[in-house]
Amino acid sequence: MGRHLHTAEPVGLDPAHWLRTGLVSNTGVWVQGQPGIGKSSITKRMLAGLVAFGMRAVVPGDVKGEYTPLVTALGGAVWHLGRGLHALNPLDAGPLRPAIAGAPSAERTRLVETLRSRRLSLLEALVTIVRHGEPDVTERRLLGAALDLAVETTDRAPGGREPLIPDVLAVLLSGPAPLLSIAATDDQPGYRRTTRALVNALGLLCEGAIRGIFDRPSSARFDPDTPALSLDISALDDDDDDVVAAAMLCSWAWSAALADAAAHGERRRNVVQVQDELWRALRVAPGLVERSDRITRLGRHRGVVSFQVTHSMDDLDALPTEADRAKARGLASRNGVLLLGGMAESELDGLRRITSLSDGEAALITSWAAPPTWHAGRLHPGRGKYLIKSGQRVGLPVALTLTPSERALHDTDGAFSSRRSRDSRVVPAEPPRGAGRAVRRRGVR
């Protein structure tokens, strides 16, 4: 990763190796710090290093497209999701399908039930996003029954195919006997009144702002030999949070199926996964923290190293309900490793809820925060500096120095490069006569 700030010794971090040697109990990594300290840089170095050790890097829902250059340089595949671009069917079993087919009977049953649970949780989450409220008990049972019937129908289709959200919607609209029973009615008018809100919510997924992205078959295919894969949703970055949240959840669900397939397929390969701007999806509606946890619940037994990247613990406080906030703090605290960059004093109270910090460690973190003075041309004091924390151990302060190739691949300030600035600079107005001499006398440059 870099060198120890006090001893200059090289410091390595491999969550999988730390798990095997008993240093940590899980392979989750929480990355937090102010913008500009290099959170993406340290995460990308970890991705490149773990890929070199044989893992597959997966970036589900890259909102800014900032991991695309690295994934491309690693020889991986990038799917650009958006209108007129690639489509991703969130109900697609994808790479999990051959794993199910080749598994023993008992394991096959477990994988099928896992797939059903994930599909249903995703549908409930998407309905929650569209309605800004959770489906009730009856609607959840209706969704489950409609999903099962849609899967049966698509499995019986010539050659078989993956179910789509429009297939689930079609079952709901047809009102078969099992759904009438759940709705506790024996006539179509009563059934339609009961299912109207649910039908309209699924209809918006097929006809609303994300039409054509997640309501048709996946237009790209997973290559089991690829070392890295990114689902780039940067084309949707300017859309409403509802659209971005739906895209992120669908991408997370697909990557979870990929991790399951990697754990149970013939060619097993551990996965390193990055969830950046995690809270942008979870703050849209109440209950999404729990549902996303069900969709993406991965762990050491599946061979997954996960990175969750955020600017501030305030992101947790922005979630809709106290139950969501408590759940999110639990998700953060369960990570085996924390990578902490520079942050203000006000951040430390929230941070202490998920890890212990000594006075010296707290002072080090705040010394890396953005300075309160106006001195141009100086680097952020926390650029490339991180404190590695795990459990109650003393933190390891590390300084990262980028290689020339990393500087090119990790540049997240490209929009403000000197070349672009020269092309679009603003010519200042002519100052009043004598103003320049007054400014120089005050020592301002």
The 10 Å Cβ neighbour count of residue 322 is 9
pLDDT at residue 372 in the model = 62
For the entire predicted model, the pTM comes to: 0.82
Give residue 218's identity as a one-letter amino acid code.
S
Query: In angstroms, rounded to a whole number, what is the distance separating the alpha carbons of residues 214 and 231?
Result: 13
Note the helical H segments in 208-240. none
Closest CA relative to residue 93, chosen from 260, 212, 223 = 260
Query: In angstroms, rounded to a whole number, what is the distance separating the alpha carbons of residues 291 and 304?
Result: 19
Strand ranges inside 215-336, DSSP E: 228-232, 271-276, 304-310
Query: In angstroms, rounded to a whole number, what is the distance separating the alpha carbons of residues 349 and 178?
Result: 52
pLDDT at residue 177 in the model = 93
Strand order in the sheet with 10-11: 10-11, 2-4, 396-399, 385-389, 337-340, 28-32, 304-310, 271-276, 56-62, 228-232, 77-80
pLDDT at residue 263 in the model = 64
pLDDT at residue 437 in the model = 37
End-to-end Cα distance, the chain:
38
- Helix, strand or coil for residue 301? helix
CB distance 272 to 58 below 8 Å: yes
pLDDT at residue 84 in the model = 86
pLDDT (tens digit per residue) in 19-53: 999 999 889 999 998 888 888 899 999 999 999 99
Number of helices (H), then strands (E), belonging to the chain: the values are: 19, 11
Closest CA relative to residue 61, chosen from 40, 42, 45, 80 = 80
Query: In angstroms, rounded to a whole number, what is the distance separating the alpha carbons of residues 85 and 108?
Result: 34
pLDDT at residue 430 in the model = 39
pLDDT at residue 3 in the model = 95
Sequential DSSP letters for 42-111: HHHHHHHHHHHTT-EEEEEEESS-TTHHHHHHTT-EEEEBSTTSB---TT--TTHHHHHHHS-HHHHHHH
Q: Token pair of 225, please?
A: 């030999």
pLDDT at residue 377 in the model = 59
Q: What angle do CA 394, 11, 351 make, to 5 degrees?
A: 40
- One digit per residue, the tens of pLDDT, for the chain of length 445 reads 999 999 999 999 999 999 999 999 889 999 998 888 888 899 999 999 999 999 999 998 899 899 999 999 999 999 998 888 888 888 988 777 777 887 888 888 888 888 898 899 889 888 988 888 889 999 999 999 999 999 999 988 887 788 999 999 999 999 999 999 999 998 899 999 999 999 999 998 888 777 888 888 988 777 888 999 999 999 988 888 888 888 888 888 887 777 776 666 556 778 899 988 877 778 888 888 877 776 666 554 567 898 988 888 877 777 888 888 888 888 788 888 999 999 988 888 888 888 889 999 999 999 998 776 666 656 778 889 999 999 889 999 999 999 888 888 876 655 545 444 444 333 333 333 443 333 333 333 3
pLDDT (tens digit per residue) in 360-371: 999 999 999 877
